[in-house]
Amino acid sequence: MAEASLCAPPTSRSGANPQLSSDTDWREVARLVLTSREMDRLEEEELVPARQVLYQFSARGHDLAQVLLGLKLRDGDAACGYYRSRPLLLALGVPLADALGSGMGRAGGYSGGRDIGVVFNYPNPGGAHALPMSGGVGAQYTPAAGWAQAIRYKAEVLREQDRGNIALVLGGDASCATGGFWSALTIATTQKLPLLFYVEDNGYGISVPSTYQTPGQDLAANLAAFKDLAIFNGDGTEPVEASRLIDAAVAHVRSGRGPALLRLTVPRLEGHSYQDTQTYKSEQVIAAEWARDPLPKLKAHVAARQIGDEAWAALSQEVAWEVARAREEAEARPVLPVEKVADDVFFSGTHAAVGGRAGLGLDGTYEEPRPEGQRINMVTAIRRVLEQELEANPKMCVFGEDVGPKGGVHAVTLGLQERFGHERVFDTSLNEEGIVGRAVGMAIAGLLPVPEIQFRKYAEPATEQINDCGTMRWRTANRFAAPMVLRVPGGFFKCGDPWHSQTNEVQFVHNPGWKVAVPSNAEDAVGLLRMALRGHDPVLFFEHRAMLDDSWARRPWPGDAYVLPFGRGRKTRQGDRITIVTWGAMVPRCEAAAEGLSADVIDLRTLMPWDRDMVLESVRRTRRCLIVHEDLRTGGFGAEIAAVVADEAFLDLDAPVARVTMPDIPSPHHPSLLEAAVPSVARIRAEIDRLVGF
């Protein structure tokens, strides 16, 4: 089994003194480890059997090293952990009633009962923040890289004092097989960021031994050839060794010499979770793991520091009383009122405790366009807004694949790096999870990231980070938020293909917490982009490839302070025979199809939120509704519009609600095949005539 290789000898490539002394407060270490043990005992023996706690993850065996590490963090640092990281939280000072009450799903605490209790977050003014963790394994790594990059950004761009702050990310050895880990490792090493990776190697990913996760079962040894990565490798159950390695690793990262990886072997003394009986482990393996329990080793170590058996017993009793009082406080908390369960999905007037507030305000802006100059295309319009906001807001940065010297594959960012520098407009490694996850960490740190995904299809690897970003405000009860503007070009162009021409906007609408903009022309792109950059929520800004340089989409510049509120559609034509609802590249086709007919053509402009009132008012007047979109028919956003119309305006209809869409196929490549698949003017007109004549 994996046990034989768990205690690799400590190694270091950092140049740190291997005899580094520690100023550790061992009594505090003992108090916190005993607190963690008592909380685990209380949950396992009382709260879980009573079904007061539904999900429980013991930290036994992991606790000593986490406490030692947590006590080394300070104001300006941040840690991003996972479901077994409660000892670290205790070291940061999280109230015990919050830690217990969150597991009970009570009001207050980490989420107000919205999320699993072990999925923690901890705003910690004056200390290190515990960033909102994700329930997904490996999702913690790239946001931590983003926080680390924000530390450097604040020092180099905002000229804030460099206080040697660091970002810390924790994960088990199995999490190091995920794309998030490797993406963050690439970001941190190539950029030499102040990021400490702490890998708690217990030899298992639930039941799967590390032989399936890591060749040779020693990640630190495997990474020995990684350039600009200091390696610290040892036993997390030995107090002196663990303390020495932790001190050295933290000192290395604080020194500004780049990232470090700290691998400490630890035993997982209980199952993966309470329900896990560990039948996949032999009795010999379990006995060997308990023989490595760090608690007796800690007790022996502190006995040499005037904390003998009597003092240890007194400390244990003190801890038991504190946990019991915390339990009473937690049990006295109510469950969140059900009418509040939908609160905090979007910003509603109260800022999160941590994150956001980086966008400029709306003072001096206006909502009616003030056209000036010649008509410009969408590329120029978007670039000009980015340029203006970068000039006015030093907290804003733009990044993604090829956005630097190349100016983006669609030329939208052309010249921005030359003007604003590599620190503010920069290329990234080819990893979309890393692009969006990094943006999450930077946004939590108080910056305004504007990441770009090169094509819509390429957003798929970032799906987990996109989802986690959108739900952050809700699942942390407005304690954290990560506003950003995620620019995503997509849709057909002169030809199509399954890889570059996808739209699938509805997937983003299905991610709670995201606003979704789908401008069809340069004027709307200006207003929506500036509003997104001045707002307080994450925004998916969809740039349709066919409209970026389309002559129909060209408009005069609408003014340097023009903003367009989300959820406000526009009637591009007005009439009384039929309502046509559309967006993006389908708007000019719908206008052409409605030529010579009295019709309302509504360009929604945003899908989250969408202008229900405008659509319903029009349908009640015209008594007919046609929805046209480029996305696939089944499950497309048109189905949502049709459902709302049928539900709220059914008695006003004189004809069935109809849709013209792509068939349920990928976008075909050859132009003739593409034109047959995408809604054409002729197909749209035929459906208009059918409905009008119904």
Least Cα distance to 205 among 197, 213, 195 occurs for 213
Residues in Cβ contact with 196 at an 8 Å cutoff, skipping those fewer than 6 apart: 166, 167, 168, 169, 249, 250, 253, 259, 260, 261, 262
- Quick one: pLDDT at residue 248? 97
Across the beta sheet with 599-603, what order do the strands follow? 570-573, 599-603, 578-582, 625-632, 658-662
Q: Is the CB of residue 67 less than 8 Å from the CB of residue 237?
A: no
From CA 304, how far away is CA 456, in angstroms rounded? Answer: 61
From CA 39, how far away is CA 36, in angstroms rounded? Answer: 5
pLDDT mean values, one per 10 residues, the chain (694 residues): 36 42 84 97 94 92 97 97 95 96 92 93 96 94 98 97 96 94 97 98 92 92 95 97 97 97 95 90 93 96 88 96 97 95 96 96 96 97 98 98 96 97 96 97 98 93 96 97 97 90 92 98 98 98 97 98 98 97 98 97 98 98 98 96 98 97 95 94 98 96
From CA 209, how far away is CA 190, in angstroms rounded? Answer: 31
From CA 10, how far away is CA 7, in angstroms rounded? Answer: 9
Q: Is the CB of residue 336 less than 8 Å from the CB of residue 112?
A: yes
Give the C-alpha distances (Å, rounded to integers) separating 69 from 198, 236, 336, 370, 513.
9, 11, 34, 56, 33
Task: Say if pTM beats, i.e. exceeds, 0.75.
Answer: yes
Kindly list the catalytic residues: 500
Pull the structure tokens for residue 164: 């040697």
- Domains recognised in the chain with CATH numbers: 2-25+59-96+119-305 (3.40.50.970), 372-557 (3.40.50.970), 570-692 (3.40.50.920)
Q: Within 10 Å of residue 654's Cβ, how many Cβ atoms?
A: 11
Helix (H, G, I), strand (E, B) or coil at 464: helix
- Quick one: pLDDT at residue 156? 97
From CA 214, how far away is CA 204, in angstroms rounded? Answer: 11
- Quick one: pLDDT at residue 1? 32
- Quick one: pLDDT at residue 675? 92
b/e for 466-495, b at 16 or more Cβ within 10 A?
bbbbbbbbbbbbbbbbbbbbbbbbbbbbeb
From CA 422, how far away is CA 413, in angstroms rounded? Answer: 13
Helix (H, G, I), strand (E, B) or coil at 630: strand
